[in-house]
């Protein structure tokens, strides 16, 4: 009788162990799938931001940017096709459907839209893409990581949101430089964005570099991101200080792109750490 009971106990324990192992594997696969979705959406945000800046520059008179705009337009469509792989998950996010509707608007009215309308539709699309990323991150605890407050490794989301400040600065500044004239409304927007860059972008970089676990990993990229922001703010000041900007619009676009890419590099590094953590958890 004792042997039978022992065998039953062993079977129960083995079954429980197998069940836990299978559950962890399912959770790991689900987490890796979500991180893959976020990576594609992060690329989509980047390309839509680039498309916005190039479009605003072209529509403001800088025709030399047209070929690059067309190339980026094709990349956005390719990324949207890739996102179809994740449609069963993305379908439940209203912000995703709103983002797709914005792109349809941009495609249908590409020739008729004025620069300001085009800019606003791009802004709305990016806002919805970021909301979709945030929804995925919150559902799978990719910011607080089991704690009550956002963790250093979870700062990838704040960094990604901050790219939109840089991205809008790129679009509006490129438009001002392309027009070569005093545009009071655009200048006021750019000045407000410059203030946001100073207030928000440096703060998250400082938090990253002060984290003892991440310091050695992010020290160099953080300093590079800070330097790129410094240069961008100098170019913005030059635009705002001159009544008739003499800054090359393509050069300004490139300067802002370097600042944005430096932020995205850190986003990618932190997402890679989360992926490695998920793999180890299995």
Q: What is the pLDDT, as a whole number, of residue 69?
A: 94
Q: What is the mean predicted confidence (pLDDT) over 118-126?
A: 96
Residue with the larger pLDDT of the pair 41 and 26: 41
Give the mean model confidence (pLDDT) for residues 121-126. Answer: 97
Region 224-236: mean pLDDT is 97
Which band of pLDDT confidence, cut at 50, 70 and 90, is reported for residue 16?
very low
Closest CA to 196 of 222, 167, 225, 220: 167
Mean pLDDT of 148-155: 92
- Mean of pLDDT values over 84-100: 96
CA dihedral 165, 257, 71, 117 (to 10 degrees): 30
Whole-angstrom distance, CA of residue 180 vs CA of residue 258: 23
Question: Of 4-18, 117-131, 134-148, 240-254, where does mean pLDDT reach its minimum?
Answer: 4-18
Assign 16 to helix, strand or coil. helix
Q: What is the model's pLDDT at position 22?
A: 44
For residue 30, pLDDT beyond 60: yes
Contact status, residue 62 vs residue 249, Cβ threshold 8 Å? yes
CB atoms within 10 A of CB 101: 14
Position 179 scores a pLDDT of 82
Please give the Cα distance from 145 to 132 (Å, whole number): 18
Burial letters 21-34, b for 16+ CB under 10 A, else e: eeeeeeeeeebeeb
- Average pLDDT taken over every residue of the chain: 89
Q: How far apart are CA 107 and CA 16, in angstroms?
A: 54
List the one residue out of 150, 167, 164, 126 whose CA is nearest residue 207.
150
Question: What average pLDDT does the segment 162-185 reach?
Answer: 89
* Closest C-alpha to 47, from 179, 135, 163, 200: 163
Distances (CA, A) of 75 to 47, 57, 71, 124, 202: 7, 18, 7, 19, 30
pLDDT per position as a tens digit, 189-202: 999 999 999 999 99
Residues 197-224, mean pLDDT to the nearest whole number: 95
Write out the two tokens for 224: 């590079």
What three-state secondary structure class fits 140? Answer: coil
Cβ atoms 172, 189 nearer than 8 A: yes
Residue 20 predicted with pLDDT over 50 = no
């Amino acid at each position: 009788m004792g042997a039978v009971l022992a065998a039953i106990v062993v079977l129960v324990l083995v079954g429980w162990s197998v069940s836990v192992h299978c559950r962890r594997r399912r959770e790991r696969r689900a987490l890796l799938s979500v991180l893959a979705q976020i990576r594609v959406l992060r690329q989509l945000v980047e390309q839509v931001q680039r498309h916005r800046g190039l479009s605003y520059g072209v529509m403001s008179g800088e025709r030399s940017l047209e070929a690059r705009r067309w190339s980026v337009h094709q990349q956005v469509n390719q990324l949207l096709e890739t996102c179809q792989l994740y449609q069963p998950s993305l379908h439940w996010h209203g912000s995703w459907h709103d983002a797709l509707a914005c792109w349809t608007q941009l495609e249908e009215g590409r020739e008729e839209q004025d620069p300001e309308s085009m800019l606003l539709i791009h802004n709305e699309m990016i806002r919805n893409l970021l909301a979709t990323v945030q929804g995925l991150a919150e559902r799978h605890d990719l910011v607080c990581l089991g704690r009550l407050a956002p963790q250093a490794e979870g700062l990838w989301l704040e960094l990604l949101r901050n790219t939109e400040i840089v991205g809008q600065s790129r679009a509006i500044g490129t438009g001002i430089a392309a027009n070569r004239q005093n545009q009071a409304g655009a200048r006021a927007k750019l000045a407000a964005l410059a203030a946001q860059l100073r207030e928000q972008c440096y703060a998250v970089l400082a938090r990253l570099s002060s984290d003892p676990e991440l310091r050695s990993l992010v020290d160099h990229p953080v300093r590079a991101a800070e330097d790129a922001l410094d240069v961008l703010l100098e170019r913005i000041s030059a635009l705002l200080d001159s009544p008739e900007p003499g800054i090359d619009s393509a050069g300004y676009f490139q300067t802002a792109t370097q600042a944005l890419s430096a932020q995205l590099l850190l986003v990618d590094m932190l997402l890679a750490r989360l992926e490695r953590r998920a793999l180890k958890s299995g």
